[in-house]
Amino acid sequence: MTAKTATCTVKRVPPDFPLYKGVSFTADRIEAVRKTLPQPGGYKWLDEYIDSLDPVKDWEQVIRTEFNYTFNEFGGSIPHTTAFINVIQNPVGGRTLAGTGKVFGHFHGHDRLMDANGFLFSWMLEGLTTPNGKAEVERLNRLHMRLAKRFPGNFADKDDFIIAIVNLALFPARLREVFGLPPLPENRRIARLYWSRALWANIITELGPARMEDFPNTLEEMVEWERQFNARPHEPIDEGHRAAEALIDHFCWQWFPKPLRFIGREFILMILPGSSIRKHRLGERKPWLDSCIYYGFRLMLLLQSLAPDPRIGLIDRIMVEEQKKAGVLPPRKQRLSMPTVLAFLLLTGFAQFLYQNVRRDRE
């Protein structure tokens, strides 16, 4: 089944999606997370609190607090898309992902994003040093070993695991680089390094438990490791192309109405390294559209920076999800206003792009 064929079988958008799958956050688990979170303060309190922490000793609290109060579904779906496209530069990964068929499944492979959220929410909020966080890594290991029985040898290369973790860790820095924003603060970078190494320490490949000496020791080593991985002469394969296209298709379908899905595709291409675009034959970037998205996205971030820091976080939404499962609350609606907001920001960005060019011509 090709990605194109699978896409054509989708007739309508279901009225409701769960935010995550595969894990049940009981009342006790939710309360345990709440007890670790800070009490929101004034208008701008989040950075001040995080800056008061030691990223070496308190890295888990840095990760937990920032993730809880800054996560949103749109932002969360971006690294899910780009990280897996980067991972499957290795032909083994492309064959495996295409072979499972999950990215071509119901509703553009949306199940895969919900599964990924289930793991990530526990790792970020409960923490990788807690019994629940470790149990979720073990659940991922069991999933991989079941797949290894179908695809022998495909889960043996440690580098396929490392690149996935490195991509997740470096994503915020990559996003800032693409959109010309200030670098990620040092304390956040350090915390993400420790988080990455804690995740790697619990990973099991077909050849056995992860070895810490195989994982980058510093932020600089992590960036260099990713650069060297992207520079490898991986063989382009059709399965990798189809899987990458399916991942992009899902992102566009989830957030954009059909007439605007070209915007979502270009957004992903802007964030992907050139190596992924070439190896998966995803086509050329469009400089004029990149400029529009660049200004529109920066405007969105500017508006967010002017708003007060959030007082309600992801753990509150998780509580609602669990109540919904129990039939206490009505289903959560999906895809309400984001396409409209993004379309407005794109038009604003396009206007800014035109203004900059007209002014440059006059000068």
pLDDT at residue 157 is higher than 90: yes
| Residue-wise pLDDT tens digits, 98-120 | 999 989 876 778 888 999 999 99
pLDDT at 108: 74
Query: pLDDT tens for residues 59-92?
Result: 999 999 999 999 999 999 999 999 999 999 999 9
Query: Domains of the chain: which residue ranges?
Result: 3-285+306-337
Least-confidence region, from 46-55, 103-112, 195-204: 103-112
Q: What is the mean pLDDT of the chain?
A: 89
Burial of 124 (0-12, 13-18, 19+ CB in 10 A): buried
> How would residue 327 be classed by pLDDT, with cut points 50, 70 and 90?
confident
pLDDT for 337: 46
Answer for the pair 35, 171: CB distance below 8 angstroms, yes or no. no
Q: Which of 327 and 174 is assigned the larger pLDDT?
A: 174
Instruction: Between 75 and 4, name the one with better pLDDT.
Output: 75
What confidence score (pLDDT) does residue 102 get?
87
CA distance 8 to 294: 31
Does residue 35 carry a pLDDT above 70?
yes
Q: Could you give the 3-state DSSP secondary structure of residue 181?
A: coil
**Whole-number pLDDT of residue 105:** 72
pLDDT digits (tens, 9 = 90+) for 217-248: 999 999 999 999 999 999 999 999 999 999 99
**pLDDT computed for residue 349 by the predictor:** 62
13 pLDDT band, cuts 50/70/90, is: very low
Contact, 50 vs 59, CB < 8 A?
no
pLDDT band per the 50, 70, 90 thresholds, residue 304? confident
> Contact at 8 Å (CB) between 260 and 313?
no
Res 5: pLDDT: 35
Over residues 13-27, mean pLDDT:
81
Average pLDDT of the residues in 310-329: 89
pLDDT at 336: 40
List residues bridging with 208 in a β-sheet.
205
**Mean pLDDT value of segment 253-262:** 90
Nearest in space to 207 (alpha carbons), one of 139, 160, 174: 160
The pTM of the full predicted model, rounded to 2 decimals, is 0.88
Average pLDDT over residues 145-154: 97
Average pLDDT on 315-322 reads 94
Confidence of residue 8 (pLDDT cuts 50, 70, 90): very low
Place of tokens 């030691």: 54
Question: What pLDDT, on a 0 to 100 scale, did the predictor assign at position 226?
Answer: 98
For range 32-56, the mean pLDDT: 96
pLDDT at 354 over 80: no
| DSSP letters for 40-59 | P-SSS-HHHHHHTS-TTTSH
The pLDDT of residue 350 is above 90: no
pLDDT at 45 over 80: yes
Task: With a cut of 60, say whether residue 335 has pLDDT above it.
Answer: no
CA distances (Å), origin 110, targets 43, 115, 120, 192, 273: 36, 9, 16, 27, 24
